[in-house]
Amino acid sequence: MASEHNHIPELSQLRTRHSSKWRRYGHDVLPMHVAEMDFEVASGIRKTLAKMINESDLGYLGPIPEVGEAFSKYAAKKWHWQVDAHQVKLATDVGVAAVEIFRAIVKPGDKVMVNSPVYTNFWTWIPEVGGQVLDVPLDRARGWRLDVDAIDKAFASGVKVLLLCNPQNPVGTVHSREELTAIAASARKHGAIVVSDEIHAPLTYDDAEFVPFLACGEDAEKVGICITSSSKSWNTAGLKAAIVVTKSDEMLHLVAKLPEAMHWRASLLGAFAMAESFDRSAGWVDEVVEALDENRHHLLAEIAAKLPKVKTHLPQSTYLAWLDVSEMNLGDQPAIKILEKARVALDPGTNFGPQFGQFVRFNFATSKENITAAIDRISCL
Ligand SMILES: Cc1ncc(COP(=O)(O)O)c(C=O)c1O
């Protein structure tokens, strides 16, 4: 549903944006790759930022209780999850939060579990601290769900950290309370820690229920650390601010050891935009989800009609579609072929796990016209 809150500028206007989505490729390419949305940013965020800029209010980031209070209010209303504002710590971005947590808990050579297909940087944050990625893939046959038994076996074999993606980029799976509770119990039994990246959570559709890992009982509280930000759902990734959330004394104690610099290196504008997002601009994202809901159905209908060889599914969350293009015979690097021949930029499946060479990720957070145009271009291949 179009509304003043989810307006998308014309392509010619979008092409003047300075972000990675609009700068990476030439003007003849339709960019459907990096996870940015084309909607205009919430007016409340724009007002907050404009006021700070106009008042030359651009110094270092000091204490900001507003963020913990806003997130705790949002989590209670949206997910019935009680967060103690004092257990919300600021971080530069989700990537920095993950890396700093790993620096504290991962020794060189230690294995950190991930569940492919999963967000590109999960494959880079772990080696950045000398850890080794151990992949326990999602189960495609059950609709890209977590393989809880395999995760339990990995913990039993001595793996001490799981980096969970909930909801899961790129397949949009929202993990269930049962799955998360079982993982928490297994992690606690084997003395492991679960770092749960929940950055896509506010973008969950009505037909699924997002469950925060830390809302899954005492085991989860004892072993879990949530890393998240408003930046994905309110589309402000360039502003650089995120949060680390804990629920138990044990995890609070661990997070207290992380460097102070994680706070200082966040941006003042980003932090206040986050407080505004989770508080006064909370409703904006719900309207965006309504528009994205229409887009996900539109994309699937377009694919069924024009790309019948492509296999995909309706994501439960976020604005990314995971396309199996193996029957299109596009060679070893389908995303490159699609870019070169159809002038549509998609993310190659191998960004999400080495075995996904015949997949591409399609970002549908744009207008229906752009989605149709991209599918039309690809269908001419
Ligand atoms: C699961 C996940 N985590 C983290 C990020 C990036 O977050 P940040 O820019 O705060 O590091 C993304 C970006 O798409 C993501 O999909």
Question: Which of 169, 228, 230 has most ligand 1 atoms within 8 Å of its beta carbon, as the pocket-test mutant?
Answer: 169
* Backbone torsions φ then ψ of 200, nearest 5 degrees: -90, 0
CA distance 6 to 12: 18
Answer yes or no: do 92 and 153 share one domain: yes
CA distance 226 to 210: 14
19, 36 contact by CB (below 8 A): yes
Answer yes or no: do 159 and 207 share one domain: yes
CA distance 348 to 28: 19
CATH of the domain at 159: 3.40.640.10
Point out the domain boundary residue: 255, 278, 301: 278
- The atom number, within ligand 1, closest to the CA of 237 reads 9
The protein residue with its alpha carbon nearest to ligand 1, atom 15, reads 119
CA 59 to chain CA centroid, nearest Å: 29
Point out the domain boundary residue: 278, 308, 323: 278
Side by side, the strands of the sheet bearing 88-91 are 88-91, 242-245, 224-228, 193-197, 161-165, 111-114, 132-135
CATH of the domain at 372: 3.90.1150.10
Q: Quick one: which of 39, 40, 119 has its CA closest to 364?
A: 39
- Does the Cβ of 365 fall within 6 Å of ligand 1? no
pTM of the model: 0.98
Q: How many domains does the chain have?
A: 2
Q: What is the pLDDT of residue 5?
A: 62
- Does the Cβ of 35 fall within 6 Å of ligand 1? yes
Answer yes or no: do 19 and 75 share one domain: no
- Does the Cβ of 136 fall within 6 Å of ligand 1? no
Q: Digits of tens for pLDDT over the chain (381 positions)?
A: 446 567 999 999 999 999 999 999 999 999 999 999 999 999 999 999 999 999 999 999 999 999 999 999 999 999 999 999 999 999 999 999 999 999 999 999 999 999 999 999 999 999 999 999 999 999 999 999 999 999 999 999 999 999 999 999 999 999 999 999 999 999 999 999 999 999 999 999 999 999 999 999 999 999 999 999 999 999 999 999 999 999 999 999 999 999 999 999 999 999 999 999 999 999 999 999 999 999 999 999 999 999 999 999 999 999 999 999 999 999 999 999 999 999 999 999 999 999 999 999 999 999 999 999 999 999 999
CA distance 103 to 99: 6
- The atom number, within ligand 1, closest to the CA of 165 reads 1
Residue 183, token pair as written in the block: 């993982």
Answer yes or no: do 260 and 288 share one domain: no
Answer yes or no: do 112 and 12 share one domain: no
Span from the CA of 202 to the centroid of ligand 1 (angstroms) = 13
Answer yes or no: do 190 and 210 share one domain: yes
Answer yes or no: do 122 and 255 share one domain: yes
The protein residue with its alpha carbon nearest to ligand 1, atom 13, reads 35
Q: What is the pLDDT of residue 45?
A: 98
Span from the CA of 94 to the centroid of ligand 1 (angstroms) = 6
Answer yes or no: do 73 and 124 share one domain: yes
Please give the residue range of the domain that contains residue 368: 4-41+282-379
Question: Which of 34, 36, 92, 94 has most ligand 1 atoms within 8 Å of its beta carbon, as the pocket-test mutant?
Answer: 94
CA 38 to chain CA centroid, nearest Å: 16
Q: What is the pLDDT of residue 6?
A: 79
Answer yes or no: do 144 and 245 share one domain: yes
Answer yes or no: do 128 and 36 share one domain: no
Answer yes or no: do 26 and 53 share one domain: no
Point out the domain boundary residue: 278, 312, 332: 278
Answer yes or no: do 273 and 360 share one domain: no
